Structure 1
Amino acid sequence: MTDTKTGDDKTLSVNTKKTLTLKRPSVEQGTVRQNFSHGRSKSVVVETKKRKFSRPDEPAAATPAPAPVKPRPVVPTPQSQTTRERPRPSHTSERSGVVLNELSSDELEARRRALQDSKVREAEERQRAAEDAKRRAEEDARRQREREESARRQAEEEERLKVEAEARRRSEEEARRRAPAAAEQAAPEASDDNEGKGNSKGLPPKRPVPVKTEVAPRPAKPRTDDERRRGKLTLNKALSDDGEARGRSLSSMRRRQEKFRRAQHQEPREKISREVVLPETITIQELAQRMAERAVDVVKFFMKQGQMMKPGDVIDADTAELVAEEFGHTVKRVAESDVEEGLFNIADNAEDLKSRPPVVTIMGHVDHGKTSLLDAIRHANVVSGEAGGITQHIGAYQVVQDGQTITFIDTPGHAAFTAMRARGAEATDIAILVVAADDSVMPQTIESINHAKAAGVPIIVAINKIDKPQADAQKVRTELLQHEVFVESMGGEVLDVEVSAVKGTNLDKLLEAILLQSEVLELKANPDRTAEGVVIEAKLDRGRGSVATVLVQTGTLRTGDIIVAGNEWGRVRALVNDRGEQMKEAPPSMPVEILGLQGTPLAGDRIAVVESEARAREIADYRQRLAREKSVARQAGQRGSLEQMMSQLQDSGLKEFPLIIKGDVQGSIEAIASALEKLGTDEVQARIVHAGAGAITESDVSLAETSGAAIIGFNVRANKQARDAAEQAGIEIRYYNIIYDLVDDIKAAMSGLLSPERRETFLGNAEILEVFNVSKVGKVAGCRVTEGKVERGAGVRLIRDSVVIHEGKLKTLKRFKDEVSEVPSGQECGMAFENYEDIRAGDVIEAFRVEHITRTL
């Protein structure tokens, strides 16, 4: 160890080559322990740099800038030069070695990875920068080409404009050259004067007036490429990225200028007067559209009138007409029913009419042999198919006699089928009135005569059953006179034929009489027009849907035609004749079954062919809406307010028998409904909750359960689901196939709703002679029976001064001390009333018996 002292410095030299000095170095290093969470710690090297101050004797330029890499060298004194140069590097290396030793291997690895990642990123950035530079170069080249192309086009456009200006100048010179000679002479004089004046003043001579147009070719300026196509989006502009915003197009600018000019001059648009079609009701929006006006203007018009309306509000035709006329339009009023115009009763030309077969309706009283007569004519057994031998539907058939066709319509004769018989008379040409020779004229025979006369149909009388021993044809003719039916044999014009359906007697004569009558009528129709007809019967078939039996009256009905029948419409899918054969078309006077209707029409509805489905749907919707409104109005009229209904029920004591009726065809349902309506009285009546054609379904059972109604099936049955639901709900379903039985059963059931009749029978009178007080009994009247007799248990009235004081029953009736059942007239007895003791001598006791008798309809 060596100790050396030199001046102010003191240096210690150690064998470990560590140099200790008293002077503080410019950069001091130290180690700090940094603590982290979870007990971790780390040694961190901290360097403290000493701030250096320049001496005043040193020049400012000699002061170097501080650099972290090369520290400023310190000029040592000659005494300590060796000791100051060598120890500093060894001291620094020692410190850095300590720092490196203190870093862990994980940290060294992390630093190495970070260094490698930074190198990779630098390489990627250099590659990306090279690609960007290449792309920019290509973009610059493309833009340069586009600028060159634009400059070339501009040059071409300028050249074209120059050529056009030159051509225009030449044309103007040519026009001036052809001007009148006077103008040519005046022009040189004026030019000479101008030149003289100009020269005298030392100014250049003035140009003639026409030359001024050549000096400034004004259209050339706005037709440059940049200004002409400024607002248009070209391919170059779309691809160029110069940030230039797109301007307004030329068309937009023109529209804007036109609008501004119109606003300046306030040019009113030309008013166009239109014919506005007005229905019965219309919305304001629809009215404005038909007038080609704004809905806001129409609303403003109403506001001026003091009404606050909206575009969706509905106004009537009168108000709409006032508005349309106020706006300067003409009005054409149409009704909603106009959709049916041109549907029926289309006029035919006389030369287009051709002969058609007669339509014959067989009418008469029940069981007079109408269907048997038709059966004999058709040689087919029709009666066996009807329940009980009664015709319950309208049947339509065709037969051929001597090469001529006759259409027969068979109508029921029962009183319940009046409406069906009336429809048969409306659709027919000739009515055959069948009267049994052994039964003569009956009520429904008279009804048939009235129907035929109301329809204006000629009658042929067929006196049937002449084969019976008790037949009297002359009696029939005589009784027909009472109803203004005059047969030929009695001096009238009505044909009569005596026939026998069983023996087939005189059937040929009957057919000949029909053909003779049809010749007199001259029946004709136009088969080459759209078909019209009438629905004879309609039903809902489970397999075929809605089936309507239609009699074609004029025109020819073909498969595929679009038809309207009452409230329903559809396309004819199939035509089936009376023998079950499918046909392509049905000429006039031919009865056919039609398949393809959307719903089941009503019997008696008229049918017509229309040109399109849209028209058919429009007509059907109108008719359905009309029927719905009528139904609602009728129900509202019947129902009234709840208080009125309850008061009516309380006042009248009316009881209702609710029914749900399902039948096979519409005509049968109508007949049943009319028959049940006639059964009603002031006390009880049948209320039909629902009636329709088709099978009994589960919904019918649900409706019956809700309304407490009985279900009646006429020639229909309930499906399994409906039967199960009815059994579960405890609702009885009654099936019928004869209308007599149905009406009788409903009549008996409705009779059960009638309150029993109270019938009172007078027994006798007794006069009170004296009143006794008896213990445990009360007051007892000693009486003498003056009239009739008095019975124990009978009803009694106590009458005082001819006024009924009390009405009740006798408690005791004694003769002497014995209880007796009755006391005859002239004998004395004792009487006591139940719960009443205000009796006096001189009062009269009236005895009577009350009976309750069951009533029937």
Structure 2
Amino acid sequence: MSDTKDTGDKTISMERKQTLSVPRSVEQGTVRQSFSHGRSKQVVVEKKKRRAVTPGQPEERAAEPAPQAPKAVARPKVAARPERSDRDRNGGAKRPAPAQQKRGGAVLRTLTADEAKARAMALREAQVRDVEERKLAVEQAKQRAVDDARRKIEDEARLKAEAEARVKEEAEAAVRAVEEAKAEKAKEAEEAARPKPAAPSGPAITPEELAAQAARRSGLDDGPARRSVGADDKKPMALRAAKRVKPVPEKAAPRTDDRRKSKLTITSAFAEESQRGRSLAALRRRREKEKRAGQKVVREKVMREVQLPDQITIQELANRMTERSVDVIKMLMKQGQMLKADDVIDADMAQLIAEELGHTVRRVSEADVEVGVFSEPDAEADLQPRPPVVTIMGHVDHGKTSLLDAFRESNVVKGEAGGITQHIGAYQVEQNGQRITFIDTPGHAAFTQMRARGAKATDLVILVVAADDGVMPQTKEAIAHARAADVPIIVAINKIDKPGADPNRVRTELLQESLVVESMGGDVLEVEVSALKKTNLDKLLEAILLQSEVLELRANPNRSAEGIVVEAQLDKGRGSVATVLVQRGTLRIGDIMVAGSAWGRVRALLDEYGNQVDEAGPSKPVEILGFQSTPEAGDMVAVVENESRAREIAEYRQRMKRDALHAGSARGSLEQMMTDLQTVGRKEFVILIKGDVQGSVEAISGALEGLGTDEVAARIVHAGVGGITESDVTLAQASGAPILAFNVRANSQAREAAEAAGIEIRYYSVIYDLVDDVKAAMSGLLSPELRETFLGNAKILEIFDISKVGKIAGCLVTEGVVERGAHVRLIRDDIVVHEGKLGTLKRFKDEVKQVTSGQECGMNFVSYQDMRPGDVIECFRVEEIARTL
């Protein structure tokens, strides 16, 4: 039979009993194993097949299939390769497989060419894998050898270190033994030198026996027949004794299988007499606990620097001091304050606690968040000229709006259709290559608000006065605003084209307001203009530039921007839009800014024409988009470093604004509070209540709320349980409310704070007394009822003019009586011309209290002299009747 495959021969001879030989009797495959936590691994597995035998030959069982590789094995071992024939080892072609017979005796089909080709390919792949596996085995063997060598070196180093440590310990033990031996010998020599009492009877002890006994006591004698030691042999014997007395390390007890006693097995689980023991984890925890108990070390207390705000909770204070909140609460209980961990205490109490515990304190305030927002003034070398900022003020009928329109129209670029649309309340005009910024302030309220906030947004004020109307009351108000803001004024005398215009009249009337123009020898510039005919507008612009040169307006553009909000509004499509005038620095897109209680990031910058710009320098008005909320006119704008700082500043300002809204004027007592409320006409009674229990506080609150009417009502700013603390006094001072205490008292710190702030604290033990006092105080807020009682009438007959006294009216009492000090009305032609009090009442030359009907008398009015004959004097008494709730 040929070794090569003969494609023409389709049968296999059955005479020659030769089995089919293959390179490997196993089949290899791959299986993907899945582990916990989503891990997977591909493993090679092998399977051995059962070999078929020819008929007539007993069937031999093939080797059992190899078991599947366990999941824990990283790389399965390769099964032993069956021994191949010489032709296979020499790389010859695979021998054609003999036909197999079924067990019934039928001849199996012959392998086709494709099947033979596939088997040859499998054989070649198996050979390649065999080579790779051998290479891998060699590499693993080399790696194991390297690891073994490294471990061997490490073990040798460790053994060497242990040996050195052991030698060192032995040397130290020898030195200690020598020192102990010397000390023992010195002690024995001292005892021997002492005089000993005489022995009662017996043989005398020789010096040799004493030395032997001393040697036995010191552990240097090994037997009874040991010779005495001389002076020269003492040191070598001591060294030998030290070596001999070296403590022998005790052998550790053989480890038993106790740690596996408590493991649960099937046998122990079904055994009735056995009980489940403690787990290994429980034993491990117990050992760790015992170990920690044996190594317990007292920690040294660390003193820290504690930052204390105005108010802080007890838990936060304990965390900053790294103390337990229970210890802080105990300290407060010793001071008579029953508080919880989430209660708020003031900075003074927190400082006392921290200092008592040994910590250092650094007081901080909420206002510190604004430190550094507006930086210091710039250096002179960094300043550059900037355009002036001009505000036009004056009476609304004097042509202020017309003058603004004239400035806008004069600045239109030729060829641009439609003119300039003023999108914002500020714009710039160019004159001789220099820019001038105009701010349109609608009304005086916005300007007053800016001045009240300390914002000096304007460099110059143009005071517009009509030449045909002169100085009006609103003109005087504008002058007062400009002087209060300490801003120079340029007078623009408008409407000079009208027929009745008189500029000199305007100049003269301005003198009455202490405003002297240049034409009359003063230092105030004035320009005669006509907004309607656009007369002398260029002269007005030149006067503005001249005044700005005198002022030397400069700013630093190379820094973070600062400015002021001219106006702000909420646009439906764009959100919060603010018109900002940059005062110094440069504002850019993306900057984070704060304006009052609003903050945001600059999303867009628009100029007066509605065009987007990338940046805005000093004196440049722009519209800003990007505020989270709408700021107020007059708020200062500043650029900060990050959003967290901006949010922190805005939240602090919002809290301050809320506190300012709720807090009234500073007042402490009930009487002072009633006086203030009557003066300003307020009808709200603010109080703070502290009680012993929650039920009492609720009852008091309900009773006081029921006392309210349409004219006056009680407002409880705080009602709590517990003693009066300094925080309560602070709240009462901020809200202007007295403190009503029911069955509670104030501590010493609260009393001192109340006395210093002038806050009244009233103590009650009966609810009805508290309610009655509050009711009486609220009744005092009601306006009293006035009741008139008619007394009589008198007719003036003649008027006498006395130099020192004034005018005296000679009267005849026609009805009733007239009393001195009574209220009177002077009636002329049935019209009341005066109402006041009667000052003097005389009959002949004597002062009298009253004059009856039919008698004549003289009368004098308080602070009134316009009396005429024929007038009627009506006398009446006014009684005030107090109102109650």
**TM-score normalised by structure 1 residue count:** 0.49
- Higher helix share goes to which structure? 1
Q: For the pair shown, which has the larger CA radius of gyration, 1 or 2?
A: 1
Q: TM-score, normalised by structure 2?
A: 0.48
